[in-house]
Structures are given as structure tokens and as C-alpha cells.
Amino acid sequence: MKKESEIRTISQNPGEKLLNITVKDLMPLPCSEATSKETQMITGEQNNHYDYSLDGVSALALSRPRDKEEGKRLVQSFLNGLKKLLSDQDNWTFSQPLALSLEFCARCQTCSEVCPIYLSSGKQEIYRPIFRSELLRRIKRKYLDFGGNFISKFTGDSIELNWTTIARLAELAYRCTLCGKCAQVCPMGIDNGLITREIRKLFSQELGIAPVEFHRLGTVRQLEIGSSTGITPKAFKNTVEFMEDEIEEKIGRRIHIPVDREGADILLIHNAGEFLAWPENPEAFAVILDSVGASWTLSSELIGYDAVNYGAWYDDIQMAKIVMKHAQLAKYLGVKKILIGECGHAQKVLVSLGDRILPSDLNIPRINCLSFFENIISRNQLKFNPEKNNFLVTLHDPCSVVRLSGIVEPQRNILKRVCPEFREMEPHGVNNYCCGGGSGFAIIKSQGFSDWRINVAGRMKIKQIMQTFEDTNPEIRKYVCAPCSNCKSQLRDLLSYYNIGEKYNISYTGIAELIVNAMVETKVPWLPVQK
């Protein structure tokens, strides 16, 4: 049921949902056969312990305060965190863009017209890009600005700051994928995604509140045991042997995958999720690098085999620690460059964000795999038979690669070369829509959040995919190429949930797999042949 939530209601009716959203409220899909199910019900026991008062699901599983005193302490901690967020010392990393975005928004709502979550939700007010930004602005004005409490009584924008406000704001920070689409169309250059990430950061760095998948099972685990996937250095070495065996089966010759080779030109770092979910992707990288005679290596050191850096989504401190570790490893191995695998946020952290964190002696060049592959292909270093990719291929542009990192043409040039039936989605390139799994949504599994992610956050992407292939025979084999692990994970869930993958013969893949599949040398199809 659609509910027009005004900002001031955010602090009212604790425990009651601010929004009751059902499938009927959502943006319609072009194909009536696409299935949508209601969000997973929260059990009574869960409801007693955790706060679902935003929209009935939870990314954070926040426990309600035990008594009024605890509630007051949390409110005070929040205000302390907000002061630090606005400070040039505690938050030099983003204080300027945050201050600008808070001060100069004209509330013209241009951002709302392109936000995939707001549009997919059937334009629910609480998902409007400026809803959470405006809430933060009003809290700042009333509680931190000079005379704010007095002035807000007359200006009609007073917000009561209580536990309910804080809990709902914390959850709201996890209803935006930080895709940057809103900022791209903002006439003022205001970035609501950046404000959202800053809210996440406030909660993490001051109150210790973050999704368990990001923090305890994410960055903390990565720093302690080497990877958020749980892969240890020993397990990683076993995985490499397994990959060598698989490659031999597929191309008929054994490739040695170099690990910890000092003095190699390139240190290749994959998102470790690839080793578990899609080993054919790092295997394809190995085939390409071996075929062109590159001097390269993987690393089995802690963190060296996992490019992910979940800090990018919620915490500057964790992000800085991990990016430093990656650079230290490259220095230790004496490589000339770090080659980043198909992982969008790793690209953004290692190349853009990390650039101003890393000290100069650790500022080792980092390059994107798409540009790297394009260079190989343009120099005819690989022999192709593009007819081997005789299926329809479209490209999903990962936000972190395209809009946020500016890598736009290399992936297109590759696909045009190796996939004769490549077709673009609309819109595409820097104007793409997020897959809905961005900013870590694809790995948050708890408290009904997965259903929300697929039903709401990913709805625009599934609509785009359907529209891209709507003029084709359902029997024809089709692929969505997504050169990003996080996006692939989301596409896997979307295609399965909406029952589109099997019915319309649509699958997903990375870009390295398509390159190797088209190579003359590859005897057995690299991509599994579907029924």
C-alpha cells in the first residue's frame, strides 16, 4: 500500500512500519510472465528483537534499545558522529563534497526522475533520493546549527531526534545503491549517494553499526584471514591447482598459474568470490595471460587474493587499511602494475579512491582488466573465431566501472570484436541503470532484505534486460555480459527469481569468458551450453 510519508513522520509511531509495500505497488514489468513474490515475512520472534519500522525489512538487524537511557545514549552518539562527519579533521576524506551537498540542494527533484529504486518502487516517498538527505539536513540544522532549535520551530522543518528516527535513517542508508545516477543529472552537482554513504559511515565509525556482511564477515574477516569469502591462503593455493586441472580439461594443455612470483610485471587480483562461484572467470584470465606470454602472478598472501574492499560502501578506516594492504603486497612482490579483475568496486577503490590514500612509494600503477584486454585484442595478440559466440549478447555496465570510473569504450570494443551479435541495452554506458546489487546489496542476505533487493532494487535492470531481448525468439541463446562479480551475483538472483533465465534462455557471464570462448585455441566451449 502506497503511503505518502512526510519527513516529519520519521520520528513518529515507533515500531510501526513507515511504509507497507506490496508487489502491486511496484513498477510494472513488460513481461506478464515475470513472477514477483511478496517480501519474505518477518517472524514474530524476529519482530520482537529487531527494528523493522522503516519498510518491514532490515539490512542492519538493529536491536531496539533496552530502556530509555540507552536510547538517549544512542541519540547522543549519533549527534557526536554527525559533528565528526562535518569536521575537516575527522572526515577530511569527504568533508568538502558532503558540506556542498548538504548546503546547496535546491530540491528540484530532478534526481528522483532517474533513481531506479524510487521508480521501481512505484515512487514510494521514502525511497526518493532526497528523502534521507533532507532528513540529515534538517537534523543538522536543528541540533547543530546556531539557534537551530529555535529557528526550526518557526520554519516548519523541525525533526524530533529519537531512537526511531535514528533506526529508520540507518536503514534508509541501505535503500540506495550509491550508483551515482542521481548525481549525474543533478543541475547543482549534488550527490545524494555520497550523503547516503556518509550516513552509513557515521553509523559504522561512531556507533559501530554496519551490516554484518560488510563488517564482521567482510572487512574484519578479510583483514584477519585474508578474504571475506573465508578462503585462507592454503585453500587459495588448492584452488589454483584445481583451476589448472580444469583449464587442462578445457583447452587440452596445462597452464602454470604463477603464484607469489617476485619481480613479475603484473600482480593480478580477482574478487575472491570468482574462485568460489565462477572459477571459469579467473581461469579465462589465466588462459589469456598465458596465451600472450604476459609476465604475471597471483598472490597467496593475506588479502592478496581478494580484491574486494567493502570499506568502499560504509567505512573509510576499513577501506584505507585494505587498500594499503593491496599496495604493500604489490611492492613486496616488486611488480610493475596491479591488474584488477572483473570487480567494479575494487576498480573504484584501487584506482580512484586509493589514489589519495596511498603514500607515493606505494602508489603502484593500477590498471583495469577491460583496458588491458582491449589492448591485447587491438594488437591481434589472440586469434579469434567470433562465430563461436553465435548467440545474442548484451552488456550490463557496472556503475563503479562506468559512471564512477569512466571505463566506457574498452568493453564495447572487446564485445564488438568477439561477439557478432552484440546489442546495447537502453540506456547504457555512463547512463546505465544499476543492477540493484550495488554498494554491497548483493551480499546482504538477512531479514527479508534479499527479497527487497530483487523486487525493488533490481527491478529496473530486469526490465531493461527484458526490453533488450523482447523482439527475439525465446529459444535463442542469450547472454548478459557483466564485467563485475557483484553485478553477476545480482543477475544470477534476478534471472532466477523472475523466472526469466530459463524461460527465455538468458544467462549471464563475465567478459573474460566470452573472449576465451571465441579463441581459436579453445576446443571445448568455455561457456556451458544451455538446454
Does 208 bind other proteins (CB under 8 A)? Our answer is yes
Whether the Cβ atoms of residue 93 and residue 85 lie closer than 8 Å to each other: no
How far apart, in whole angstroms, are the C-alpha atoms of residue 203 and residue 198? 9
CA distances from 281 to 12, 61, 107, 261, 271 (A): 49, 34, 44, 21, 10
Are residues 59 and 211 in contact, defined by beta-carbon separation less than 8 angstroms?
yes
Contact pick of 270, 325, 388, 417 for other proteins (by CB under 8 A): 325
Task: Provide the mask over 223-242, with x wherever binding to other proteins is found by CB under 8 A and - wherever it is not.
Answer: x-------------------
Show the cell assigned to 65: 534499545
Q: Considering CB under 8 A, how many residues would be counted as binding other proteins? A: 97
Among 165, 204, 394, 505, binds other proteins (CB under 8 A): 204
Identify the helix (H) or strand (E) that includes residue 40.
none
Q: Which of 116, 108, 12 is nearest to 54 (CA)?
A: 12
The nearest distance, CB 436 to other proteins, in angstroms, is 20
Shortest spacing between CB 385 and other proteins, in angstroms: 26
Q: How far is the CB of 33 from other proteins (least distance, A)?
A: 31
The residue from 134, 171, 274, 493 that contacts other proteins (CB under 8 A) is: 134
Residues of this chain, 251-290, that bind other proteins according to CB under 8 A: none
Q: Is the peptide bond before 427 cis (omega within 30 degrees of 0)?
A: yes
Question: For residues 27-86, which are near other proteins according to CB under 8 A?
Answer: 77, 80-81, 84
| Residues 6 or more apart in contact with residue 370 via CB below 8 angstroms | 401, 407, 410, 411, 414, 483, 511
Query: 320 or 466, CB closer to other proteins?
Result: 320
Single out the residue of 12, 37, 3, 8 nearest to residue 455, CA to CA: 37
Residue with cell 606505494: 362
Scanning residues 295 to 324, which ones bind other proteins (CB under 8 A)? 301, 315-318, 320-321, 324
Question: Least Å distance between CB 74 and other proteins?
Answer: 12
The residues in 135-194 that bind other proteins, with binding defined as CB under 8 A, are 154-157, 180, 183-191, 194
Residues of this chain, 411-450, that bind other proteins according to CB under 8 A: 429-430
The least CB distance from residue 155 to other proteins, in Å, is 4
The C-alpha atoms of residue 434 and residue 432 are separated, in whole angstroms, by 7
219 vs 239 by CB, closer to other proteins: 219
Indicate if the alpha-carbon torsion angle 149, 153, 158, 163 is positive or negative. Answer: positive
- Of 104, 241, 427, 470, which one interacts with other proteins (CB under 8 A)? 104
Alpha carbon 39 to chain centroid, angstroms: 21
Choose the binding region for other proteins from 207-215, 240-248, 281-289, 507-515 (rule: CB under 8 A): 207-215
CA dist., res. 301 & res. 132, Å (int): 40
Find the binding residues for other proteins in span 360-389 (CB under 8 A): 360, 363, 365-368, 371-372, 375
Q: Smallest distance, Å, CB 367 to other proteins?
A: 6
Figure out which of the listed residues 65, 97, 148, 386 binds other proteins, where binding follows CB under 8 A: 97
The answer to whether residues 496 and 285 touch, using CB atoms and an 8 Å cutoff, is no
**Cα separation, 437 vs 454, whole angstroms:** 8
